[in-house]
Structures are given as structure tokens and as C-alpha cells.
Structure 1
Amino acid sequence: MVQFVDTLVERTFPRIRRRPLVAYPIAIVIFLIAAALRAALSPWLPPSLPFLTFFIAALLTTLVAGTGPGLLVVAASLLHAWHFFFAHQSDAMSIVSLGMFAFLAGSIVAVVHLLNRKVEGLLDERARNEAMLQDSAMGELQLEQLNVELRHRLKNTFAVIGGLVSQSARFSTDIVSFASALSGRLAAMGTAMDLVATRNFTGASLTELVADTLKPLVPPGRSRVEIKGPETMVPGDVASALGLTLHELGTNAIKYGAWSNERGSVSVTWQIEKLDEEEVRFELDWQERGGPVVTAPERRGLGTTLIDSGFPSATVERSFTPDGVHCRIAAVIKQTTTRRTRRPR
């Protein structure tokens, strides 16, 4: 099974993407299946979420057939939804719903397009390594590690995207809230992926991860955020999970916490304790101050779930004090020893 998946990702899908006469018919077939599924599921799906199967269609089409066919599915989905769901109600909400779908589906196509480029880049790099190091035992070991990391990264990334789409739909009551939640989570995941990919998937700078994830969320003004901790590298899977967690904490701070007024601030600090040559103990503190009085949420939404259990093998403690939300994340993680290089700006 693993060999079959590897063959699809490494050989079959790239060949299809290079042959438009094959790629576009595949896109049409995927769209027709998505439309048929949406029609079959109509009795169970709320009218406010008419695009659920088309998100998955755009994701699969871009993965299998490429960016152009993926955009074709997005366009066909817009026309289909307009004809069958919104033609009889040409109001502002219909326009907003169609626009949100176009934006989110385009974001999914863009993320998968970047992933396809990264995959093909890794495959090209592997081919070059095979040519240069085919007679070296060390070269064979490096190639195997690259293959393992490639498979691991692809499976994790597409699993996370699929989970975010389905879970965001589950916890959303309308297309606007669904669009807002999904776009923010895709952006946070994209930030972590970019930081990891620039270092050949070996890890991400923790300082850059925290700063880049929170930068779009911090309100204007002085001293609204403090970021402090020792420079270190974290593995790719930890970076993705931590990026989503920080995004959810920042979003909650804007809605209910320290960033919801003109004077509140957030402090993000962390400590690293070396346990042995391979593992370190990581502790991160998120502390809000100067915001309104906060209380524990009455129900668990997807954001709460991502904060409390989105970080693998971590202990998460949250408290709601008069000073603001305090969240402490502690975990034992693998140490990344890759030498740090400056990212281009």
C-alpha cells in the first residue's frame, strides 16, 4: 500500500499534471462526482453549506491534475452553486457566500499548488542526489531519509487540510463563519510550512514561527505583544501544530481577550531545557494582560480543541484570571541541530 501511494505521488500525479489532455478530463470527472455527491447529501446538509463537496473536489483535482484544472473545478462549482442554490435569491448574502467560496477554494488550490511544487522540487533534488551519490553508502542513507520525510510531510499536510475543512464545516453555522475560520487556519499552517520548507523540511526557527504567525493578528499600537525566548529550531510537525495553536490563541485574544480593547497586551515567552543529545523539554507561556475580564468558554468549539489537543504529546494548561488568559504548553520534542540560516525577506 505504501509503495502504491509513493508511486501515485512521485510518478503518476506529476505525469498527469504535465499532460493537459488527460488532466482536464480528470478535473471534469471529479467535478461531476462532487456535484452528484452534493445532490445526494442535500437531505442531510444545511442549505448554508452548499459547497462542502466542492472544496474536496478542488483539493483532489489540484493534487492530481494541477493548478489549471483545479481552478476550472472552482469556476464550475461557482456556476453550479449559483444555478442550484442561489439563482432564486440574488441577495447580498448569496454574493458574499459565493465570494467566500471563491476565496477559500482559491486558497486551497494555492496551498496544494505550493505543495506540488515542493514535491516536484524534492523529487528533482532526489534525482540529482541519486546521480551524484549513487555509489556512496552515505548517499543512499540520505536519499532514504529524504524519501521518508517526503512521504511523512505529504501525508500529514493533506490530512491536516482535510481535517480543517471538515471540522471547520462541522463547527460553523454559516458560510461566513466557515470562511473566516478556515482561511485563518490555512494561513497559519501555510506560515509554518513556509518556515519549515525553507530549511529543507528539517525544522523551523521558533522565534520566526511565533513572530510570523502573530504578525497579522497584532492590533496597531505600541507594546501590544512581547516575544521572548532562546533561539532554537523545532521539528516540522511541531512547527505546524504550534502555528495553529498560536493562531487560535491570537484569534481569541482579538475576539474576547487582551487585543479586544485599546490597551491590552500579550506576552509570549518560552524556555528550553536540554534533556540529552536528542531531546529537549520545551515550555511556552502565553499571558494576556490589560484586557476585559474573561471566563472559561461554555462550549468546546474547534478553536478550543486545537488549543487543548492540537499540539502532539504536549501538556496544555489554560486559566482564565482577572488579568487575562494564561496558557502554558509543555512538551518533550526532538532536538533539531541544523545550522540556522537567515531567511530572505
Structure 2
Amino acid sequence: MVRLVDNLIERVFPRLRRRPYFAYPIGIAIFAVAAMARMGLSRWLQDNVPFLTFFLAVLLAALIAGTGPALVVTGASLIFSWYFFLPGPGWTLDATTFVALASFTILSCLIVAVVHLLNRKVEGLMNERARNEALFQDSALGELQLEQLNIELRHRLKNTFAVIGGLVSQSARYSRDVDSFAQSLSGRLSAMGNAMDLIATRSFLGASLKELIAETLKPLVPPGAKRLDMGGPDTVIPGDVASALALTLHELGTNAIKYGAWSDKRGAVSVKWTLSKMDEDELSFELVWDERGGPRVSAPERRGLGTTLIDSGFPSAKVEREFNEEGVRCRIVAVLKQATTRRTRGRAPSLS
């Protein structure tokens, strides 16, 4: 019973009061019931207590329907009682009738004012409670998201340190001297750093494919017009794939600077990619790196770390490279998980 009363006062009545097309008919119905009750009690009540049922009607109308309907009930009750009971049937107005009507009006207005203040207080407390509940829920969700972010950060850091360790050891293994080791390692770490920056801006969910390709190649493109032509659709790719793709593109760009299209003033590189949906969270990804206008190239005589990163650094990707008179053409085909639909915990790029 207590729960029912609380529900009426806290939820049902405020909704009715905010809807005049419901509130005023309810107020009129309350007045009608009070009038019929007063007429039915006329056999037992003296005419000097004409407002007995109408005080209750004003109170109920103010509580249920609101201030406007309660004032309407007050006016209707005033006219009804004046006509039927003061001092008898008719519209006569003497001092006794005037005092009775004035007393009823004043008391009814006080009842309406008090209930109006109580209604506003109850609604204010309800709004405050709703705000506090919303803040509490936001706080709980924020803590949950922070915990997930910390878990993801720990995973990314562990994965990143594993990749860096592999890059350091393999770069040292394939480098001829300290200078070449430092130069190759710093470039690879810079590519990884750019990828991590892009991943971090999306709460470690992934990185924008278009931004990743542009930011990775931007430091490598030599000065001059039309040295790089790139284009393709955008999506968000998981962090492990972003790091691997950044390293692959960095190695392709570095090789283009050393031996390929960017090693002279005429060569250019075209980077184009396509995406096609396979199911709800998987995309078929194809990227073509095409060098034109540079010196004639041939397949490397020995397999270094750069070649390893290009051919097998991208997780579960198929990589095809062609060496011809026009330059290097590299085609990468892979299946990507969309990072916007779920977090992806992939393996680190293979360096062996």
C-alpha cells in the first residue's frame, strides 16, 4: 500500500499535472463527485456547513490535477454552494453569506498554495534523485570504461614492448654498423609511434586506416609535386593490425627512398586500397603499392629484416611483390576485423 501511494505521488500525479488535457477533466470530475456527495448528505447536514465536501475536493484537485484545476474546482464549489445552500436556494448575498463565501475562498486558496508548494518540492526532490541516479550510473559506467581502458592499455603496452624488443634484436642482427642500426631502428619506432598515437585517440580501440597510411608515409615522401598518389575508403582497424601495417608501409617507403621510385627526382608512388564487407565485423582489405618512374629494380639478393617485415609482418595477410622495369609493385590482401564493433586482441607482428 505504501509503495502504491509513493508511486502515485512521485510518478502518476506529476505526469497528470503536466498534461492539461487530462488535469482539467479530472478536476471537473472531482468537483462533480463532491457536489453529488454534498447533495446526498443534505438530509443529515445543516446548510451552515455547505463546503464540507468541497474542501476535500479542492485538496484532491490540487494534489492530483494541479493548481489550475484546483482553482477551477474552488470557483465551481463557490458558485454551487452559494446557489444551493447560502442562506438557501437563490442568489441573495447578505453579510453572513459574504463571510461564508470569503472564508471558503481564502481557506481554499491557502490549501491550493500549500499543496502547490508541496508538489513543487516533491517534483524537485524527484528530479534531484533522478540526477543523482544518472550521475551514479555515469560514474559506474565511467569506472567500467576506465577499467576496460586500463586492461586494453596493459595489453597494448605488453604487445608494443614485445614488438620493440623484436625490432631491436633483429635490426642489430641485420645491420652492418651502429649508424645503420640506429637509423633503421629509429625509423621503425617512429612508424610504430605514429600508429600508437592514432590508436590512443580512439581509446585504444583502433586507428583510422586513411589517417594511418597518410601519417606513416608523410615523413618519407620526398619534396616535389605528385610524388605520392593515395586513395581509398576509410574504416577503423584494430591496434595490432595498425602497428603491423605501419611497419610494412614504412619498409616499403624506406626501400623506395633507397632503391626505388623515391631515389631520384622523377619517380612517384601510388598507394590505393579497397574494402569490401564480408560479414558484420569483417572486411576484405586489398592495398596496392605501385612505384613508377624510378630506376629499374630487381629482387634483393639477401633477405633482410625489411623484407621480412613486408612479406610476413602483417598478421594473416597475403603479400605479393613484383620487381620490374617500372619499379616495385606490392599487393597486400587481408581480412580485417572492424575495431568499432569489438575490441580485437591480436598477436604482435612476426619478426622471424
TM-score (norm 1): 0.57
User: Which letter does structure 1 place at the counterpart of 2:234?
Assistant: E
Alignment-derived partner of residue 52 in structure 1: none
Alignment-derived partner of residue 146 in structure 1: 149
| 1:326 maps onto 2:329 in alignment | yes
Please give the per-residue CA displacement for 1:322-341, whole angstroms capped at 9, x wherever unaligned.
11101011111111337xxx
Work out whether residues 237 and 339 of structure 2, in 8 Å CA contact, stay in contact via their aligned partners in 1: yes
How far, CA to CA, are the matches of 2:241 and 2:140 in structure 1? Answer: 35
How far, CA to CA, are the matches of 1:331 and 1:232 in structure 2? Answer: 14
Q: How does 1:69-80 map to 2 (within 5 A)?
A: none
User: Which letter does structure 2 place at the counterpart of 1:317?
Assistant: E
User: Which letter does structure 2 place at the counterpart of 1:282?
Assistant: F
Alignment-derived partner of residue 280 in structure 1: 283
Please give the per-residue CA displacement for 1:303-337, whole angstroms capped at 9, x wherever unaligned.
00000011011111111121110101111111133
2:254 is matched with which residue: 251, 255, 260?
A: 251
Change (3 A) 1:144 1:279: farther
How far, CA to CA, are the matches of 1:334 and 1:309 in structure 2? Answer: 18
1:283 CA displacement: 0.7
How far, CA to CA, are the matches of 1:147 and 1:187 in structure 2? Answer: 24
Identical columns (%): 73
User: Which letter does structure 2 place at the counterpart of 1:239?
Assistant: A
1:150 CA displacement: 2.3
Alignment-derived partner of residue 223 in structure 1: 226
1:199 CA displacement: 1.1
Structure 1: gaps of 5 or more residues: 1-130, 339-345
Please give the per-residue CA displacement for 1:157-177, whole angstroms capped at 9, x wherever unaligned.
110111111111111121111
| 1:311 maps onto 2:311 in alignment | no
Superposition CA RMSD, Å: 2.0
How far, CA to CA, are the matches of 1:204 and 1:270 in structure 2? Answer: 16
How far, CA to CA, are the matches of 1:283 and 1:173 in structure 2? Answer: 34
User: Which letter does structure 1 place at the counterpart of 2:291?
Assistant: E
Determine helix, strand or coil for the equivalent of 2:288: strand
1:151 CA displacement: 2.7
Work out whether residues 207 and 237 of structure 2, in 8 Å CA contact, stay in contact via their aligned partners in 1: yes
Alignment-derived partner of residue 205 in structure 1: 208
| 1:260 maps onto 2:302 in alignment | no
Q: How does 1:68-217 map to 2 (within 5 A)?
A: 142=145, 145-217=148-220
Work out whether residues 291 and 326 of structure 2, in 8 Å CA contact, stay in contact via their aligned partners in 1: yes
Structure 1, 148-157 or 279-288: larger mean CA deviation: 148-157
Determine helix, strand or coil for the equivalent of 1:330: strand
How far, CA to CA, are the matches of 1:267 and 1:152 in structure 2? Answer: 34
1:142 CA displacement: 4.2
Determine helix, strand or coil for the equivalent of 1:268: strand
1:134 CA displacement: 6.9
How far, CA to CA, are the matches of 1:161 and 1:147 in structure 2? Answer: 21
User: Which letter does structure 2 place at the counterpart of 1:285?
Assistant: V
Work out whether residues 270 and 289 of structure 2, in 8 Å CA contact, stay in contact via their aligned partners in 1: yes
How far, CA to CA, are the matches of 2:271 and 2:170 in structure 1? Answer: 27
Aligned residues: 207
Structure 2: gaps of 5 or more residues: 1-135, 342-352
Alignment-derived partner of residue 117 in structure 1: none
Alignment-derived partner of residue 33 in structure 1: none
Determine helix, strand or coil for the equivalent of 2:333: strand
Change (3 A) 1:276 1:328: same
How far, CA to CA, are the matches of 1:314 and 1:148 in structure 2? Answer: 27
How far, CA to CA, are the matches of 2:318 and 2:247 in structure 1? Answer: 16
Change (3 A) 1:146 1:225: same
Alignment-derived partner of residue 303 in structure 2: 300
Q: Choose 1 or 2 for highest CA Rg.
A: 2
Alignment-derived partner of residue 238 in structure 2: 235
Please give the per-residue CA displacement for 1:240-297, whole angstroms capped at 9, x wherever unaligned.
0000100000000001000011110000010001011111111111000001110000
Work out whether residues 208 and 234 of structure 2, in 8 Å CA contact, stay in contact via their aligned partners in 1: yes
How far, CA to CA, are the matches of 2:298 and 2:313 in structure 1? Answer: 21
1:146 CA displacement: 2.9
Determine helix, strand or coil for the equivalent of 1:239: helix
Runs of 4+ in 1 over 6 A off after TM superposition: none
TM-score (norm 2): 0.56
How far, CA to CA, are the matches of 1:251 and 1:278 in structure 2? Answer: 33
How far, CA to CA, are the matches of 1:148 and 1:183 in structure 2? Answer: 28
How far, CA to CA, are the matches of 1:141 and 1:135 in structure 2? Answer: 6
How far, CA to CA, are the matches of 2:339 and 2:186 in structure 1? Answer: 30
